[in-house]
Every structure is written in structure tokens, then in C-alpha cells.
Structure 1
């Protein structure tokens, strides 16, 4: 049997030494999260972010494939965000079932109404931005077993009997493909933490903290089969903080240089403090500010052009109190620190506004309307927000060539290779009827996950829990959910994971997220053409890599379901 990676028989002193380095690195580099409920007037307690002790093996080819696909996904979701008719057809039927979807469409409709009533001049901002993230897992299919047997190894199914004795290196490496878990277009988190953990693992390599862990002779096709896979060139660099900051800065430059902004700046009163700024809208009592603040700091420390990018934070419930909207669409921010002066906002970066309770009253709706009515460039617009729903993901994955509505056949083909089966749950279509059949059968449901259209982790249902759950809710509410085929992760991938709760070692499952940062300009539907957009900037914005115990269903580090990690890239 080949020697596993990392070795399971490492001396305890070696593990303790590596962990000591990790604890010190995290403490000194802000790889931390606030302890909920610990904040006082003068202090706050923090605990380290959950991390992997070793980088986890991942195929170089599939990592490169995910990076290559991101620009196509950015283009796709940017164009979908401009296609109001299609978005309405897909998501409007959920308005009476999903309060958040109803709130977002209410915001959109009210914005159109106020722009058209003639009482005020709210010019349309035709530039939008996105900080997106496409999440993938490795799908394993052994040619020697049939599909049903392979699904018994599914990481999301707590039946992992076939893993015993299979932790023998990279036996799975040539049997995996890349499959998309979900696409996130709103308030994408994790980029800062991922950046810091990648830097940490790369530092540990430079520091020679990792000893020589040779793989077995049969593990992979390296020039030297005794070579340690943890090398500087096998751990990809990750500059997510700088890349997100870059796109926000680029959007602010676009805003400043636009003709409308130029004319308003020349006529603005001396009470405006210039230059224009970025406004990050955040949630109150946020325990995860360490995933937000570094982006703000990067903008204030911005050296490109010789000037910092002014960046401010405002909590969701305070937006109406601290902002005003002029008749020409300027969004003015009035923080107490400005001493009576107003700051013109050129970019709104949303890190709040994704929970139904934030729109439970008129205050939340009016908050989003004000931001949406403004001339500021939104990351993203309310339509861009709607694209993050699982219903949109399911509709895009449906057979029938819908992707060609926005993409070339070549790009559409590349995207489709990452899809798993996704079904609606309704009786009005053949696909919906099939979804209902699969979800209500205890045998077939084992191979699927039930997802609410809007979820932030911790709300999915798995396997034979699905039929029982559906029996507890009215059938009229089933269409608010999407049925997704489970991804069967490769068995025998081993690692050691650590968090404030302790240290665990065993089989693991990883999720690769590729960030995309983009800026686009809408192109109206003239001459019967469908509304679309032209990309101003479209860049890969770094990545996140999260790992969890193979027997855990959910994946969310900040909610305790996973650990930030770094892929150790190896040839298949």
C-alpha cells in the first residue's frame, strides 16, 4: 500500500510544533473571529479561524480549469442580471413563498416607479459591479463500481464504509471531475480569511515547518516519487484582498470619470468633501468583521494613483439616518466623523441585506430603494442580487440550450461540464414532476440535497430527511426548494484540522471557491435586441478553499462547519 499524505504516523511532537507555529501566525496576522456576545465597551474576545494543519491535495488541472471558467461565469451572471424578463419568469413565481425574493422585486419595481413619476431626476446608473464566487467540489466516479455503489461513498451521506483502508495517497486523482456546488453573486464572504490562510501555509513552507513527507511510489507521476508535495510552487498565491479592493477602486474611478459625475462635481457645493468614496453596507453586531475590514484598509492604503480610496462603513439599519439622496441621484453620506460635511458615495459594496428579516418592515425596503435609486455603482444591483438564488442556478442548468441566450456555444459547453442534475419541485413541468418523484422516494432521495432558493449555509436537507421534511410543509411551498444531485467526493483524502473547539484528524472533503470581480455597462434593448451588457473589467479575484470532516454535511467555517485550507496542487 502506498504511503498516505500527510503521514498518519507523525510523531506527536512534530504535530505540536506545527500547531504552535499556526497559532502564533493566526494571532499575529488577524486570522481571527470575534466571540459572539463577548464585546464590551472596551474589549472583545476573539478565537482563531478554523484551519487545516496541512494543505490538502487537489488536482492542478482542475484548479486551473476552475480559474479559467470564472471569467465565463462572470460574463454569464452579468448578462443574466441585465435580462429582467428572464429573471422575472424564473423567480417571480416564488414571491408568495420567499419573502426575500418578494422584497427584492418590490425594491426593483418601486425604483422604476420613482424614476418614472417625473417628480425627481434619478438618472439610471448603467454601470454595475460584482464580487462573485463560484464554488466547486471534486466528483469521484470509480470505473470499477456502478453509480449506486459510488454514491455510497458520497461525502454528504454518513455511510462511508468503503473508505476504510483506502487512505493510500492519490488513488482517486484520475477519477475526479469538477462540479459546481453553487454560484454566489451577493455579499460573498471568506475572501479575506482565505487570503490569510494561504499566506500562512506558504509561510510555513518557507519556514521549513513541514518536514519531508514523501508520497509512496505509486501515488502520482512526479519526476521524483520521493518528492515532498508541499512546496512553494504547489501552493498557489492568493491575493483576494487586493483584487477585491482593485475592482472597487476601478468602479470608483469609473464613477468619477463619468460625464454625470464630472458635471455634478463641478457644481457641487463646498459642503461636499471630495473625493468621492466607497461605502460598505454591513450588518450590526457582526462577529466576522475580520473578513471585511482588511478590504477597507487596503483601499485606504491604496497607492495606485498616489491617493487613498476613501472607504466608510455604515450598518444596514443606519443607512437612512446617515445618507441622503439628491434630486440628481447623488448619494451623500453624513458620518459623525465628517463634522457636518457630506461625502459623495460613488460605490456601494453590499455586505448586508441578504436576510429576510432585514426587509421585514418598510425601513428595510426603503433602505435598499435609496441605495438602488442612487447614481452610485452598486456591488451588485438588486437584479444582480436576485441572480444568486438557487432557482436561477437550477434554471441555468436545465437542458435545452438556455445558456446560449447569453454565451457562445463554446463557452456554454464549458460551463455545462460543471453542472450536476438540478430539479425544480413543481407539478407544472416534466422536470418538476421528476424532481417531486425523486424527492418523495426514500430510496432515490438518498442521492440528493434539498436546498431553499436563498440560503446561507445550515438550511439544507440531505438524503432520507428530504421526504420527511416535505411531508411537514404544504405542497404549495415545495416550489421554493431546489433538488440537487449530491456530489460524490473522493474517498481517502486525509488531513488534520484545528479550531478553537479542538483538533480532528481523518478523511476530509474540500470545496474550492473561485472569486470573480467584474464591472460592466448595460446595453439597452434597442431594435428588438435583448438587453445585455459589455464587460468593462473582468478578472479572477483569488480563491477560497475550505475543508471539512467527511462525515459533516454543511460547509461554513464561520458557522463551525469547516476549516479554511490551501490546495496543494499536484498532477493527475
Structure 2
């Protein structure tokens, strides 16, 4: 009512503008009226080896190059995912859209990649920690917004404890600004001041305030943002002759899939995804980049010579990337897959079984890993998984603060993520940078699961 009253005055704002503002505020307030919890976090920042932290940052631009190279390599994606798409319906649907769009001819000329490479600190036999990549997320790279605020919380806690000097050592960190920079650059290169940025969302958003941090950064750059569902695209979206996408007479220059909006499972959602991919708008990620983030691709990259083929002329980058890899093994049908499956069944605590999904809560460990592998060891279904060496970090003590949970000291392990952003126009890479970091910490009794899964909490690295 206040908005409508304000718009009825001589404010110069149109009725359509009034409705847009009202709709956006309703989108903000609606989940708040249901339930709001603070994001879980550690009471204190956690120690992170400075050398490994700097190594993770130094290799991020290399990973950006690699993801972009994979997304442009049809032969590599086709060959690598050939066995997976036979048994994994979700990946197969993505791949069919990918092939259909290529056959039609790409209308998109500007490409935006936002990814997050995740690592743990593996303690060797001699106790020396090494950086080991867990995965690279090309669509589920969440918490760039909320982690931009976490360091301020920990600075305050340390000051309250009288640790002023320690508080001053916490690094500045603003991934939300870095992610918005990439989106803004892609929007600029799209070449239309009238074009709008769309955030593809779901009916219920559990992590809405994380997304809003990035959205606000874009509004501060005078870039209009709207939030739409796949259903809205399906019901209202259309392409003109030059394949610009319109909804209600608005044209869209960039489509951003916020973390959490991963699987358009309904038939109408797949139709909407196809429409988006056929458009000339910038998709983040486009479907080729999403396929580049599958676990099967990650496993294939560990084979000798693969990185060098994908990044010719960049031997140093290939070496830096390979230095972060843990052991990754194929479960494809054949002698090699049979041998690896038998080894994992015999000693399941050495490995992690990973399906083709991003985000926490999907991996299998220990007896559960053994049970699943025994069930599928002689089935083609096993090719929808990869096997990875289990990383064993050194635990540390901290307090994990969660809503409605008692506060107690826990033995914890941490996972470091580095955000990367790149923009390519045609064949020219016009932006390539690391965009900030994320530290998540969980109690050692939890084998798998991230913040959204209710297991890990947000943290801040204290470099040692």
C-alpha cells in the first residue's frame, strides 16, 4: 500500500515501474514471512596454511581457462560423456539440448563462466599438508554473497575477545562484487542498454539472501535485475527473428542460474532450458559449461596428457592444475573399471563414490559406498559414478553456530573454495580472474554435505 500511495504522487514513476518494484519486494519478503534463519557460521576463524591458500588462488585463472576450453571442445565432451549419458538421465537430457543447439548453430557470442574450485588440505604420511581438489562447480558455486560478510563477523568476535591484532590479519573478501563484475561485463558486451539480467529461481528459495547480495551489486551498477522461474520462461518466453528472448516485451541479455537452481526436472522446465540455450542471450552457465562441470569430466582430466591436449601452449598452467589433483578413477565397463570397483569394495574407506551432481550431500562413503558398488558392479549403472581417493585433513577445534542447536566445541575439518569469473567474446577472453574465497567447516562425524545441506557452516581463513 505504501508503494502504491507513493506512486500515486507526482513521482514520475510509471504504473509498470510500480508493479515491478512491488513484485521484487514481494519476492524478497515472501520467504521472510515464512521463516528466516541466520546463516550458520563458526565462532572463530579457522587456521589455513598460507602457502596452500596462495596456491589455490594462483591456479584459479588456469581452471577458468580449462573450463572455457572444455566448453568449446565438442569432441572431448562427446567422447568423455558417451558412457555416462547412457545411464544418467539428467546428464543425457543436458547433452541432447547441447547437441540440438550446436546443430542449429549458436546464436550466443558472449560467454560468462562463474565457477568455484573446492579443495581440502590432505595430510600425508609425514604430516605435511597438500592442496587437493574436491571438485569444480560450474553451476552450484554458492555462498559468494554471504561469505562476503563473514570476515566482518569474525573481526568483531576477535575484537570482543581482545584479539585486535589477530582481527586485523583477516583478509578482505568480497566474492559478491567479483561475481557481479563478470555478469556486468557480459551484459555490457551483449550490447543493449535496454536488456535486463534475469535470475532463474525456484518457487521456494532457501538461500535467497546469498543471491540478493549479488543482485544488489548489479543494481548498484544501474543494471536491472528480475527474478523469474523456469515456468515463467516456458509460459511467456519467445524468440524473435534474431533470437533475442522476450518475456512481456522485456528483452534479456544475461540469464544467471543462482546456485541451488540445478535440475529442471519437469518437462516444461526442460523446454524452457532449450529456449534459453537457443537464444542469443548470455547464459551463466551455458549448457556446455554445465557439462564441463560433471564428475566424469573431472575424472577424465586426471588422465596423463589430457590437460596438455585441452590447453596447448600452456604447459605451466597444466602443471599447476595437475598438482592439485587427488586420485580419480573410472568405473567404465571393462577390465580397468572392474579392477577399480573390486579394490573399492575390498577397502571402501580409501575412497569416495561420486555421482554426476554438483553441491554437497550426494557422495557415498564407507559401508554405503561398498553396498552401492556391490549392487551395481556388474551393471552399466556404475558408469554414472566416478571413484576418488578419500582426502584426510587434520582436524581442529571450533564452535559451530546454528539456529536452534546447542553450542558445543567440535573437532572440525574445513574446505576452501576459490571463486573464478571469466568472460569470452567470440574467441577472445576479455576477463579472467579469481573473485574471492569461501571457507566451510563441519564436524568430523559428517562425511559429506555442505552449508545448504545443514552440515557445514561458513568460516573465515586465518592464514598461518
Correspondence 1:543 to 2:449: no
Spell out, residue by residue over 1:27-49, the C-alpha distance to the aligned partner (whole angstroms, 9 max, x if none). Answer: xxxxxxxxxxxx97982221111
Aligned counterpart, 2:419: 515
Q: Following the alignment from structure 1 to structure 2, what is the Cα–Cα distance between the partners of residues 502 and 327?
A: 59
Q: Following the alignment from structure 2 to structure 1, what is the Cα–Cα distance between the partners of residues 64 and 450?
A: 23
Aligned counterpart, 1:236: 171
Aligned counterpart, 1:89: 79
Count of residues in correspondence between the two structures: 432
Given that residues 82 and 522 in structure 1 are in contact (C-alpha distance below 8 angstroms), is that contact kept between their aligned partners in structure 2?
no
SS in structure 2 opposite 1:509? strand
Q: Following the alignment from structure 2 to structure 1, what is the Cα–Cα distance between the partners of residues 236 and 256?
A: 16
Given that residues 251 and 519 in structure 1 are in contact (C-alpha distance below 8 angstroms), is that contact kept between their aligned partners in structure 2?
yes
Aligned counterpart, 1:480: 384
> Deviation at 1:105?
1.2
Correspondence 1:293 to 2:276: no
> Deviation at 1:299?
0.8
Aligned counterpart, 1:185: 138
Spell out, residue by residue over 1:460-517, the C-alpha distance to the aligned partner (whole angstroms, 9 max, x if none). Answer: 11123222122334622111111110111014x1111110123231221000000001
Q: Which runs of 4+ in 1 moved over 3 A?
A: 39-42, 112-115, 352-356
SS in structure 2 opposite 1:135? strand
The structure that is helix-richer by fraction is 2
Aligned counterpart, 1:494: 397
Deviation larger for 380-389 or 194-203: 194-203
Correspondence 1:351 to 2:255: no
Correspondence 1:210 to 2:161: yes
Q: Following the alignment from structure 2 to structure 1, what is the Cα–Cα distance between the partners of residues 129 and 259?
A: 36
1:560 counterpart (441, 454, 460): 454
- Show structure 1 runs of 5+ residues with no match: 1-38, 116-122, 144-171, 213-227, 262-273, 303-307, 335-341, 524-533
Given that residues 44 and 157 in structure 2 are in contact (C-alpha distance below 8 angstroms), is that contact kept between their aligned partners in structure 1?
no
Q: Following the alignment from structure 2 to structure 1, what is the Cα–Cα distance between the partners of residues 104 and 333?
A: 38
Given that residues 420 and 485 in structure 1 are in contact (C-alpha distance below 8 angstroms), is that contact kept between their aligned partners in structure 2?
yes
Given that residues 296 and 312 in structure 1 are in contact (C-alpha distance below 8 angstroms), is that contact kept between their aligned partners in structure 2?
no
Aligned counterpart, 2:202: 283
Given that residues 252 and 278 in structure 1 are in contact (C-alpha distance below 8 angstroms), is that contact kept between their aligned partners in structure 2?
yes
Spell out, residue by residue over 1:415-440, the C-alpha distance to the aligned partner (whole angstroms, 9 max, x if none). Answer: 1111111111123253x233212222
Given that residues 519 and 536 in structure 1 are in contact (C-alpha distance below 8 angstroms), is that contact kept between their aligned partners in structure 2?
yes
> Deviation at 1:360?
4.0
What TM-score, normalized to structure 1? 0.72
Aligned counterpart, 2:231: 317
Given that residues 201 and 229 in structure 2 are in contact (C-alpha distance below 8 angstroms), is that contact kept between their aligned partners in structure 1?
yes
Given that residues 247 and 517 in structure 1 are in contact (C-alpha distance below 8 angstroms), is that contact kept between their aligned partners in structure 2?
yes
SS in structure 2 opposite 1:495? strand
Aligned counterpart, 1:383: 288
> Deviation at 1:332?
1.5
- Show structure 2 runs of 5+ residues with no match: 1-28
Spell out, residue by residue over 1:276-305, the C-alpha distance to the aligned partner (whole angstroms, 9 max, x if none). Answer: 121111122112111111211111112xxx
> Deviation at 1:197?
1.2
Relative to structure 1, is the Cα distance of residues 386 and 413 closer, same or farther in structure 2, using a 3 angstrom cutoff? Answer: same
Given that residues 199 and 238 in structure 1 are in contact (C-alpha distance below 8 angstroms), is that contact kept between their aligned partners in structure 2?
no
Q: Following the alignment from structure 2 to structure 1, what is the Cα–Cα distance between the partners of residues 408 and 81?
A: 41
Q: Following the alignment from structure 1 to structure 2, what is the Cα–Cα distance between the partners of residues 251 and 294?
A: 18
Q: Following the alignment from structure 1 to structure 2, what is the Cα–Cα distance between the partners of residues 366 and 485?
A: 38
SS in structure 1 opposite 2:321? helix
Q: Following the alignment from structure 1 to structure 2, what is the Cα–Cα distance between the partners of residues 281 and 550?
A: 35
Q: Following the alignment from structure 1 to structure 2, what is the Cα–Cα distance between the partners of residues 471 and 497?
A: 36
Which protein shows a greater Rg? 1
Cα RMSD over matched residues? 2.0
Q: Following the alignment from structure 1 to structure 2, what is the Cα–Cα distance between the partners of residues 518 and 377?
A: 12
Aligned counterpart, 2:116: 133
Spell out, residue by residue over 1:361-380, the C-alpha distance to the aligned partner (whole angstroms, 9 max, x if none). Answer: 2x222111111111111111
Deviation larger for 500-509 or 308-317: 500-509
SS in structure 2 opposite 1:92? coil
Q: Following the alignment from structure 1 to structure 2, what is the Cα–Cα distance between the partners of residues 296 and 503?
A: 33
Q: Following the alignment from structure 1 to structure 2, what is the Cα–Cα distance between the partners of residues 132 and 447?
A: 28
Correspondence 1:255 to 2:245: no
Aligned counterpart, 1:427: 333
1:66 counterpart (46, 56, 59): 56
Spell out, residue by residue over 1:62-112, the C-alpha distance to the aligned partner (whole angstroms, 9 max, x if none). Answer: 111111110000001110110011011001321121111111111122223
Q: Following the alignment from structure 1 to structure 2, what is the Cα–Cα distance between the partners of residues 322 and 417?
A: 48
Given that residues 138 and 489 in structure 1 are in contact (C-alpha distance below 8 angstroms), is that contact kept between their aligned partners in structure 2?
yes
Relative to structure 1, is the Cα distance of residues 565 and 254 closer, same or farther in structure 2, using a 3 angstrom cutoff? Answer: same
Aligned counterpart, 1:414: 320
Q: Following the alignment from structure 2 to structure 1, what is the Cα–Cα distance between the partners of residues 363 and 140?
A: 19
Relative to structure 1, is the Cα distance of residues 103 and 124 closer, same or farther in structure 2, using a 3 angstrom cutoff? Answer: same
2:67 counterpart (69, 77, 85): 77
Q: Following the alignment from structure 2 to structure 1, what is the Cα–Cα distance between the partners of residues 397 and 463?
A: 15
Given that residues 283 and 351 in structure 1 are in contact (C-alpha distance below 8 angstroms), is that contact kept between their aligned partners in structure 2?
no
What TM-score, normalized to structure 2? 0.88
Relative to structure 1, is the Cα distance of residues 322 and 426 closer, same or farther in structure 2, using a 3 angstrom cutoff? Answer: same
2:95 counterpart (100, 105, 123): 105
Q: Following the alignment from structure 2 to structure 1, what is the Cα–Cα distance between the partners of residues 130 and 301?
A: 20
Q: Following the alignment from structure 2 to structure 1, what is the Cα–Cα distance between the partners of residues 102 and 260?
A: 20
